[in-house]
Amino acid sequence: MDERTAFMRAIAASPDDDAQRLVFSDWLEEHGEAERAEFVRSQTLMSQLSPFDPQYHQLEQRSDRLMDQFGTAWRAELPKLPNGVEWGNWGRGFIETLVVRDSSFLPSVSDDLLQPEPFRRLEIHRSGHTLHSLPALQRVRRLMVVGGYIRGEAETLDVWRRWVQTPEFSSLRSLELAGMDLPEDRFSVLLNECSWTQLESLHIASTNLPVDAMKFIATPEQVETLRSLQLPDYLLSSDDLRYFQAFRYSEVLRDLGLYRSGWDRAGSDLLLRCLTSCELERLAIGGHFGLESFFESVRDHDPLSTVRNLELRVGEANTHNITNLLTSLEQSRFLNHLESFSIWMTTFDLAEVFRLLSTVPKSGMRSLLLHRYQGDTIPHIETNVRALTLQPIFKELQSLSLQYPGLQDNGFRALIEAPLNHLRSLTLIDPSVSEKALGQLANSIYLPSLYRLSLPTRTITRELADRLRERFVNRLECRVYTPQGATP
């Protein structure tokens, strides 16, 4: 076995070990592969830093530049996989993800074929095969299963039980199940009969969970290492909150997503008492009612001072009383210590949100996302935008995402002329902004740090795309008009 193969196998055997990757990067440099060495080193070091760290930005630019130059050639060197199975994204210098889109080809995927690549994440889409049908699973740390996985033989409870009790399954660190039908018996087996030893993240996106699913989620017999719990589709009621009183993993939980809440002030007080022992770093909360009560409870109890990332999804019922909701959020002083804030609303007066943001006296906020699903044209948008971008909350902002804000050309012009000296990433989804206004960004002397521009729903001319790419170091995400049609 040559040295390179030995290195690759050692990294594949211990995919979480950064030291192995950094030693390999030194070996690559000594053997004439300076670019690949720099790529491995940059991505590995990036994974150890906050995305808001200045050193992270430098490493990101180096990594992106190398990927632009050599990524196609490096991907061509990967083992060729059968149809329906493909290599995914890069991470820490190597392929991070294996994607299975058609499990009928899995029998032809051998362990020898996968062995060289230290992937840690597996995505299975609409698969009917059981987990153990894929080789090299002992290296998988994160599993994502999207729809249609439980069918055929796996419909029996005994087969489901054998599946979740495999050593490979029980050693997972992250499990995401989306679009699956999980009746109570399977749900109970999943959380109470699998000998989880390292599970840190559980994400269940399903509208077909049992009515009392929270009984199994909040009080599992085996899960004691959970740091992240996400329930985007489960309608959490006040009755469900009683299970949080026996929250077994509250002391280690750092990330909680309850996207469909529905409780009163008493329920909010109960939840906050249950979370008192948590040192949450991220909280995502949403629903059709109860949010105003929640922030009133936060104002009175203030148990969530460790939260740095707040994601707020406001259902339609809340929008009828949006002023009171934002006032209760303001009075809770939640925004004063946030690093990242995201707010989704069905419809709202953007001026109300601007007023809320302008009340933050001093901010270390680095990331802001504003999304409204619908809304009328906003009067005086240019004046509102200019006033907002002068507020302290924008002073250190590095990432800004505006989705359907109704900026119009005047509001967009006010945005790109604002003193956002640290802004590195701008995402804009706004059909009210014309291509002519976007063209002004290519000639702007403002936004000196802007590195990434994303226009995910826009199709622009090739000429403008080239100008924007030149301005933003090729970090442009959009669609471009070509003679054959629109291309990414």
> Which tens digits make up the pLDDT trace of 426-444?
999 988 899 999 998 888 8
CB hemisphere CA count around 470 (13 angstroms): 10
User: Nearest CA to 353 among 309, 301, 391?
Assistant: 391
Task: Give CA–CA dist 482/460, Å, rounded.
Answer: 9
pLDDT averaged over every residue in the chain? 81
Binned at pLDDT 50, 70 and 90, residue 376 comes out as: low
Task: Give CA–CA dist 195/225, Å, rounded.
Answer: 12
User: Contact, 182 vs 155, CB < 8 A?
Assistant: no
First to last CA, the chain: 42
From the candidate CATH numbers 3.40.50.970, 2.60.120.10, 3.80.10.10, 1.10.287.3240, the one assigned to the domain spanning 157-487: 3.80.10.10
- Sequence ranges of the domains in the chain: 3-76, 157-487
* Whether residue 323 has pLDDT greater than 80: no
Q: Which pLDDT belongs to residue 392?
A: 83
- What percent of the chain clears pLDDT 90, i.e. is strictly above it? 26
- What percent of the chain clears pLDDT 70, i.e. is strictly above it? 82
List pLDDT tens digits, range 449-473: 989 999 988 888 889 988 888 887 6
Q: Which pLDDT belongs to residue 1?
A: 63
Q: Which pLDDT belongs to residue 149?
A: 47
Task: Give CA–CA dist 128/140, Å, rounded.
Answer: 19
User: Contact, 136 vs 112, CB < 8 A?
Assistant: no
Q: Which pLDDT belongs to residue 153?
A: 42
Q: Which pLDDT belongs to residue 454?
A: 92
Q: Which residue has the higher pLDDT, 315 or 189?
A: 189
Task: Give CA–CA dist 277/76, Å, rounded.
Answer: 49
* Whether residue 257 has pLDDT greater than 80: yes
For residue 477, give both structure tokens.
């995400």
Q: Which pLDDT belongs to residue 152?
A: 41
User: Contact, 106 vs 133, CB < 8 A?
Assistant: yes
Task: Extract the runs of DSSP E, i.e. beta strands, from 193-254.
Answer: 201-205, 228-237
Report the amino acid identity of residue 81: L
Q: Which pLDDT belongs to residue 27?
A: 96
* Whether residue 448 has pLDDT greater than 60: yes
Binned at pLDDT 50, 70 and 90, residue 401 comes out as: very high
List pLDDT tens digits, range 3-58: 988 999 899 888 889 999 999 999 999 999 999 999 999 999 999 999 999 999 99
Binned at pLDDT 50, 70 and 90, residue 289 comes out as: low
* Whether residue 211 has pLDDT greater than 50: yes
As a whole number, mean pLDDT of residues 201-211 equals 79
Quick one: CA dihedral 304, 305, 307, 309, positive or negative?
positive
Helix (H) or strand (E) holding 80: none
User: Nearest CA to 353 among 307, 396, 397, 405?
Assistant: 405
Contacts of 248 (CB under 8 A, 6+ apart): 218, 219, 220, 223, 224
Neighbours of 187 (CB within 10 A): 19
For residue 101, give both structure tokens.
């889109």
Report the amino acid identity of residue 486: A
Q: Which residues pair with 289 in a beta bridge?
A: 262
* Whether residue 91 has pLDDT greater than 90: yes
Which residue's structure tokens are 């959970």? Answer: 226
As a whole number, mean pLDDT of residues 185-189 equals 78
Binned at pLDDT 50, 70 and 90, residue 340 comes out as: very high
List pLDDT tens digits, range 126-155: 655 555 555 566 778 898 888 754 444 445
For residue 93, give both structure tokens.
């210098």
State the Cα angle at 14 between 12 and 17, rounded to 5°: 120
Which residue's structure tokens are 């939840």? Answer: 271
Binned at pLDDT 50, 70 and 90, residue 106 comes out as: low
Q: Of 59-63, 221-225, 246-250, 262-266, give the range with the top mean pLDDT.
A: 59-63
